[in-house]
Structure 1
């Protein structure tokens, strides 16, 4: 009975089997096969380094405070050990927080200290703060070039969080606090070594005004027109500076705790009004310093 053509080596009935294969001696090449991983094969070149934070060395695109629909929600601002500065220098320089005794500034002091980050807390009433291993109170006037220059010395970054108390006279009185203090700060930063500035203004300042409805603009101009005209001047000065700035515009502020629902709106098409807690805002401010978020960009913070 003739053999039918079949698959060599299957050994089925009616097929030709070539018999046992000759034993081949193991070579050095055989011993190394299967041990070569991706990036270690001869033609692959060196393995790519992995950044310790999972992102590019120049900073992450999303901070610990933010939530996103396409990522699992994480606890808002978990305490973290100090991270190294770019250039592998150890993080020993303090963050200068201007307006450190009230509102967002006070929350930013608490947030930074909770992460183990050194803070220089600057305000006229800084004497009311307790000095600790991480918090250095510095009393001074933000309009004084001498005071700001001294406070700025040896700092890593500046968080500008000055505000004004609501009062009836702000309906008609011209406001210059924001532009005056920002001019002093920018001059001092450009004359020194501190390049990073994270400045809080507000929703409705600068180009975010175009995101308001017509009704919102009417009410905003009637009540906050004078202070926000000065915030417009402040933002223009920051944008024209050569510093590594970020302009942060929170929407309507609340006294609540951190919500875990902070949204950092980067696309102007997504800008909108709403509510956000001061502690949520403070969390983003410290993230922006730690992770170099949104450099030379303006964002809106909302829930």
Structure 2
């Protein structure tokens, strides 16, 4: 583990999945803003460039003992874990089962979790290509577990926000993202970049406006 970077805010933000496509972008934004950051990854070599700038921990995120030490003393936890697995998974719910008591043991209340379009009420609101091709063929099983995860977080008693991004796009769109806390039958958010997700999530650390809400974010 690297020496903890105390930064200007003093108390670190913990990022689970810090070496992933969105997680790493979140880490960069937090460091730029002056937050000390504690990063979880399975392979520390993937974050070797952060040596001296962030506190890197390598462990399986389902390990409650490791999680308890990881989140202790943090001001917030960001859940940015992902998986490429197309079949059934329990990764998200397994980690959440371990994370909630770990946070409570350490007195850490703020949790920002990223799920996505396909979770809860967002299902069927990601546009034709995602709803009729990507979701049924590739991500349906993943979202069964994300639904389980969301229910656990909502019942946790923590100060949570669950962020549901639209389908990822490599091409930026013009204008600001839409942030929707209510979904109507004609709601469609079809794209968002990982950079935009990272910007939004990092901003939630000190923003209570989406507390106990499920912001659906993206472009039409």
If the length of structure 1 is used for normalisation, what is the TM-score? Answer: 0.64
- Give the alignment partner of residue 155 of structure 2, picking from 240, 255, 261: 240
Higher normalized contact order (CA 8 Å, seq sep 6+, divided by chain length) = 2
| 234-243 vs 218-227, greater mean Cα deviation | 218-227
SS in 1 for 2:66: helix
Tell me the distance in 1 between the aligned counterparts of 2:83 and 2:165: 15
Q: Aligned-residue CA RMSD in angstroms?
A: 2.4
Does the CA contact (< 8 Å) of 1:123 and 1:138 recur in 2?
yes
* Offset, 1:186: 1.1
Counterpart CA distance in 1 for 2:173 and 2:108 is: 29
Residue 62 (structure 2) pairs with residue 143 (structure 1): yes
Q: CA deviation at 1:115?
A: 1.1
| Paired positions, count | 210
2:91 to 168, 177, 202: 177
How far has the Cα of 1:215 moved from its partner?
8.1
SS at 1:101 equivalent: coil
Secondary structure of the equivalent of 1:297? coil
Q: Which stretch has the larger CA shift, 221-230 or 95-104?
A: 221-230
In structure 2, the residue matched to 1:22 is: none
Matched residue, 2:122: 208
Report what 1:224 is aligned to. 139
* Structure 1 unpaired stretches of 5+: 1-80, 83-90
Kept in 1, the 8 Å contact 2:126–2:166? The answer is: no
Cα distance, 1:177 vs structure 2 = 0.6
The answer to whether structure 1 residue 161 and structure 2 residue 80 are counterparts is yes
Instruction: Indicate the residue corresponding to 1:95 in structure 2.
Output: 13
| Larger CA deviation: 288-297 vs 94-103 | 288-297
Q: CA deviation at 1:188?
A: 0.9
Q: Give the whole-Å Cα distance in 1 for the aligned partners of 2:191 and 2:34.
A: 28
* Contact map agreement 2:20 2:80 (CA 8 A) in 1: no
Larger Rg: 1
Q: 1:260 to 1:104 in 2, by over 3 A?
A: farther
**SS of the residue 1:121 aligns to:** strand
Gaps of 5+ in 2: 1-6
For 1:234, what is the secondary structure of its paired residue? helix
The match for 1:291 is 207
Task: Give a deviation string over 1:213-235, Cα, whole Å, max 9, x none.
Answer: 78854432332111111111111
* Higher mean displacement: 222-231 or 93-102: 222-231
Which residue does the alignment assign to 1:198?
112
Residue of structure 1 equivalent to 2:189: 273
State whether residues 62 and 98 of structure 2, in contact with CA within 8 Å, keep that contact through their aligned partners in structure 1. yes
Paired residues of 1:126 and 1:139 also in contact (CA < 8 A): yes
Q: Is the 8 A contact 2:127 2:188 kept in 1?
A: no
Give the Cα separation in 2 of the matches to 1:212 and 1:275: 8
